[in-house]
Amino acid sequence: MRIGVFVCQCGTNIAATVDTEKAAAAGSLRDVHHAETIQYTCSDPGQRAIIDAIREKELTRVVIAACSPRMHETTFRRAVTRAGLNPFMMDMVNIREHCSWVHSDVDTATGKAIDLTSMGVARVRKQASLFSSKVPVTNRVLVIGGGVAGIQAALDIADAGLPVTMVERGPSIGGNMARLDKTFPTLDCSSCILTPRMVEANQHEQIDLMVNSEVDTVRGHVGNFEVDIRKKATCVIEEKCTGCMICQEKCPSRAPDEFNAGVGESKAISVPFPQAVPLVANLRKEHCRQFIRGKCGVCKKVCKSGAIDYEQEDEVTTERFGAIVVATGYEPYDWREAYPDYGGGQYPDVITSLQYERLLSASGPTGGHVRRPSDGEEPRQVVFISCVGSRDESVGRPFCCSVGCMYIAKQAILTKEHIPESQSYVFYIDIRAGGKGYEEFTRRAQKEYGAVYLRGRVGKIYPSKGKLMVMGTDTLSGEQVEIEADLVVLAAGFAAAEGAGELARKLNISYDQYEFLSESHPKLRPVETNTGGIFLAGACQGPKDIPGSVAQASAAAAKAIGLLSKGELETSPMVAAVNQTRCTGCFKCRDVCPYNAIEAVEARDGHQTARVVDSLCHGCGVCNVACPPAVISLKGYTDNQLIAETLELLR
């Protein structure tokens, strides 16, 4: 055995705190036939030096003491491969993050670096050549969520030639963007730009659209996920329904209008909105007379195409996917409990911006004429309050919703356009208008549309003679302000879609305290999750505007396409392995394995032994620990390697 030791100086990153020459003295250890220090080991000449040393000194194993293996393990594995070694015959020791960067005393740091390097030598002595294998991938992508991000991702992936299944929980795709009237800062009609994309997604040959559907369970791993999708019973046969809406017209049961964010009413059976995709009615059992009282049947009678089936049941289908894009979006923060001073939902004329959006929209319940909910009067004085459930530590929502300032400006402009004699007041904390054309837009709202911006929070809203008294502070003038408003619009912050955390647990991806899903790295891996093959798009990851969501969706699509483009995946050879001749068949490994990667095989004498399915194993090592006779080891991190390392440290 001929081991080479290379100690990196990393410029002064390591060399300033660690005496690298001394650390290279690990060269005096048994089996070490070469040791040197290199200024930048990852540089081209650095790698060259390793390769040359391997060839000249006929080294068979290499220890590189440098930075974290997260940085350059791949670099050095490739380098030793070029020199003709098995890539796993190289082991890295981290003397930068674990040593020079965390210690200030040269002697201590050097001592630790020597120990770590010697341990690396002890480890690599017990290393075995490892070989990765290739597994075929399923060329199909699951997109969860049919909002603008989901649609964008699905279309990008489908256009690249990969089949996509888009699962949407609601009755139509389109998400929150379909609810918006206009978009900032161009005042494009939201549905005018979105509906063509919705239709395209519906008609795309490569996209299988599943509405009223949810992900039940997820098994498998990157390249080969197995997903149970539950299509909820809506009592309407999707293929037969023509979307004529006659059922909706005749239905006697009223129901809240979810698409219109609760302003206005709908029926128990309804098409969610005129541009819904697919344009299919769905029945909500909890509001339906047929289900509540057991008799009605009006919709079934009037439906000309026989699309109503009260007996319909949930259907669960299982499909395989190579990658998953999660685009579950957001919902407006439910402000009612946290803001009793704003009426806590008691006053009908205190509404959220999404509800106001529906009042502004021509497809909304008022046909685009702004009428306040309480009495249908046209409001003259409209007060907008920003940051309700955003940037507010006192209600546990410290983060910025990133779009409130912009849509308030938009809604103030639209209010003036709808009702020229109206006056808008905006209570704001700061105006955050960082995007292209955003700052100009908020200025326009003030200068051209006369919106009065007041910097401060609103303390209280109370009703008085059919109006709402809004009491706040203008912190710039230091004066108390009281405005008699006809309508108050709250810029409710972003909340993760309901059930986001539960879905994340099914997918085995992490999420933060607000149930926004976590990206793998905020800068360098912004659309990846920590679980291979699962990507994030849009506001499920955090508050985002439409361009941000669309951009991230395209990025997630590119990642999914890239992942599946080769048709097969190289598996890490650092997986667990069972020494089957010594396995007692107690299957404690199977009990603890989080990836279902242990299967039972029958030995020739008939007794059951455990086997690791390489393609499912993530190499987490839990089974390694659980195995009582220690016959499971993790390749590349075997017990013997760890013991050797420890003994070296204790020596």
In the complex, the residues that contact other proteins under the rule CB under 8 A are 505, 508, 582-584, 586-588, 591-594, 622, 626, 628-631, 633, 638-640, 643
Q: Answer yes or no: are the C-beta atoms of 529 and 509 closer than 8 Å.
A: yes
Residue found under tokens 């068979």 = 60
446/508 with CB nearer other proteins: 508
**Shortest Cβ 368–other proteins spacing (Å):** 46
DSSP character for 173? S
Q: Answer yes or no: are the C-beta atoms of 169 and 213 closer than 8 Å.
A: yes
CA 200 to chain centre: 24
Alpha-carbon distance 608 to 605, whole Å? 9
Instruction: Give the helix/strand (H/E) hosting 125.
Output: helix 106-125
42/586 with CB nearer other proteins: 586
Instruction: Write the single-letter amino acid at 203.
Output: Q
Alpha-carbon distance 646 to 119, whole Å? 7
30/465 with CB nearer other proteins: 30
Q: Quote the tokens at residue 632.
A: 């499971």
**Shortest Cβ 618–other proteins spacing (Å):** 12
10 SS3 class: coil
266/633 with CB nearer other proteins: 633
**Shortest Cβ 86–other proteins spacing (Å):** 21
Q: What is the largest CA-CA distance in the chain?
A: 94
Phi-psi map region of 295: left, alpha, beta (phi>0 left; psi -120 to 50 alpha) = beta
Alpha-carbon distance 145 to 167, whole Å? 6
Q: Quote the tokens at residue 594.
A: 């989080």
**Shortest Cβ 319–other proteins spacing (Å):** 24
316/643 with CB nearer other proteins: 643
Residue 388 phi/psi, 5-degree rounding, is -95, 100
302/592 with CB nearer other proteins: 592
Neighbours of 359 (CB within 10 A): 29
Q: Nearest to residue 64, comparing CAs of 651, 234, 54, 252?
A: 54
**Shortest Cβ 593–other proteins spacing (Å):** 7
40/399 with CB nearer other proteins: 399
66/504 with CB nearer other proteins: 504
Q: Quote the tokens at residue 119.
A: 């341990």
Kindly report whether the peptide bond that precedes residue 348 is cis, defined as omega within 30 degrees of 0. Answer: no
| Strand-pair partners of 64 | 6, 92
Residue 193 phi/psi, 5-degree rounding, is -90, -25
346/580 with CB nearer other proteins: 580
428/587 with CB nearer other proteins: 587
Q: Can you point out the beta strands (E) in 277-355?
A: 282-283, 315-321, 323-326, 330-332, 350-352
**Shortest Cβ 584–other proteins spacing (Å):** 5
- In a 13 Å sphere around the CA of 541, the CA atoms on its Cβ side amount to 28
**Shortest Cβ 581–other proteins spacing (Å):** 9
The angle, 0 to 180 degrees and rounded to 10, between the axes of the packed helices 148-159 and 546-564 is 30
402/624 with CB nearer other proteins: 624
Alpha-carbon distance 24 to 5, whole Å? 7
**Shortest Cβ 508–other proteins spacing (Å):** 7
185/619 with CB nearer other proteins: 619
Q: Quote the tokens at residue 260.
A: 């219109």
**Shortest Cβ 77–other proteins spacing (Å):** 25
**Shortest Cβ 607–other proteins spacing (Å):** 9
Neighbours of 490 (CB within 10 A): 29
399/637 with CB nearer other proteins: 637
**Shortest Cβ 579–other proteins spacing (Å):** 8
CA 545 to chain centre: 15
**Shortest Cβ 639–other proteins spacing (Å):** 3
Alpha-carbon distance 511 to 229, whole Å? 22
**Shortest Cβ 628–other proteins spacing (Å):** 5
Contacting residues for 196 by C-beta, under 8 A, at least 6 apart: none
